A and B are shown apart, each in its own frame.
Chain A
Amino acid sequence: MAGIEKAGAPRSGAHTVIGSSIVIDGEISGDEDLVIQGTVKGRIALKESLYVEASGVIEADIETANVEVSGQVTGNIAASDKVELKADCKVVGDIRSPRILIADGAVFKGNVDMDVKEAKGK
């Protein structure tokens, strides 16, 4: 629960929450923060932050500014700002972002690319 509380602070501005029992098969796109507690398959494209909580399961390619993963992600992540893999998360796929944080306890398998030239913004 400590991890959820930590993640709760930056989430105050988030308007969109995908609940734990929700399953989305398709594409999610938007210009605001997205909190995922449920399951998403397909593709996620955001201009803001994506928070994958401990109960969240993602089988999708992700394109956002920020990604915080506490749950499971299978797929490639491309973030223009930052990718943060929290403790107890499981991530399989390639990550491309100028800033990548991997916490102690996180499980990750895949390539990391911190080359900034493709990541716009910062």
Chain B
Amino acid sequence: MATTDGTTIIGESILISGSLTGDEDLTVRGRVEGTLTLTRTLVVEPTGMVKAEVQVKNCIIAGIVVGNVTATESVEITKEGRMVGDIAAPRVIIVDGASFRGRIDMGEVDVGTERRVQGATARSALPARPSLRPSAPARAPQRSEAKKAEAPATQPVRPSAQPVRPSTPPAPVAMGSVKRKVIVKTKK
């Protein structure tokens, strides 16, 4: 026999639309549309085109695949391969020259623990800055109120400061910067 057992070949001019399931290797040189479920390896050859939800053990893409691919072992996109869709597999190989658009999910990844550590340090650094800023304005009004209550001498100082403001800040951006500077001064 020209064909070996355990291998199915879809020839170049063949179009299969619908669902395809099986427990053997499948080589696609033609077109398959719909759903494709195998317990073994799917090979999409350069002439092959698969527009389907694919669930396989291994997947080698040298042709065109449009749709989501879920593999229990690996997905490989060769240099001739083109794919649009999401990949879910523990091993994903995309070689130079391959084109791919979509998401990749490799499941529980060891790198994830390192990312968490990095994320934790980044998070601890970020909230530190905002926590300082709210505390500064909170102190400032308290002190200004305290100054108001303490002496009326502070009031003549403010009118003197007001005529200066319109001359110095021409732009609203400068106003903001001035305000910040004032807050810093009140801190000290």
* A116 interface contact, C-beta 8 A: no
Contact of A21 among B2, B17, B22, B29 (CB under 8 A): B22
Contact A28 B15 (CB under 8 A): yes
Contact B8 A19 (CB under 8 A): yes
Contact A22 B8 (CB under 8 A): yes
Q: A22-B26, A30-B30, A32-B14 are known contacts. Are A15 and B19 too (CB-CB below 8 A)? A: no
Contact A42 B18 (CB under 8 A): yes
Smallest Cβ distance from B67 to chain A, in angstroms? 15
Task: Note all chain A residues with C-beta closer than 8 A to B24.
Answer: 19-22
A-B pairs with beta carbons under 8 Å apart, 9 shown: A16-B14, A16-B30, A17-B3, A18-B10, A19-B24, A21-B23, A23-B21, A32-B12, A34-B11
Interface size classification for chain A: 20 to 34
Smallest Cβ distance from B45 to chain A, in angstroms? 11
Within 8 A of B (CB), among A29-45: 29-35, 38, 42
Contact B8 A28 (CB under 8 A): no
* A121 interface contact, C-beta 8 A: no
Contact string against A for B residues 1-43, beta-carbon threshold 8 Å, 1 for contact and 0 otherwise:
1110111111111111111111110100110001000000000
* A99 interface contact, C-beta 8 A: no
Contact B29 A26 (CB under 8 A): no
With CB as the reference atom, state the residue of chain A lying closest to B2.
A12
Contact A31 B6 (CB under 8 A): no
Contact B14 A24 (CB under 8 A): no
4 residue pairs, one from A and one from B, having the closest CB atoms: A26-B18, A15-B11, A16-B11, A30-B14
Smallest Cβ distance from A28 to chain B, in angstroms? 5
Q: In the complex, what distance in Å separates the CA atom of A28 from the CA atom of B34?
A: 12
Contact B19 A25 (CB under 8 A): yes
Contact A19 B6 (CB under 8 A): yes
Contact A32 B18 (CB under 8 A): no
Contact A17 B7 (CB under 8 A): yes
Task: Note all chain B residues with C-beta closer than 8 A to A21.
Answer: 6, 22-24
Q: In the complex, what distance in Å separates the CA atom of A21 from the CA atom of B23?
A: 5
Within 8 A of A (CB), among B68-126: none
Q: In the complex, what distance in Å separates the CA atom of A22 from the CA atom of B2?
A: 18
Within 8 A of B (CB), among A60-101: none
Contact of A29 among B9, B15, B26 (CB under 8 A): B15
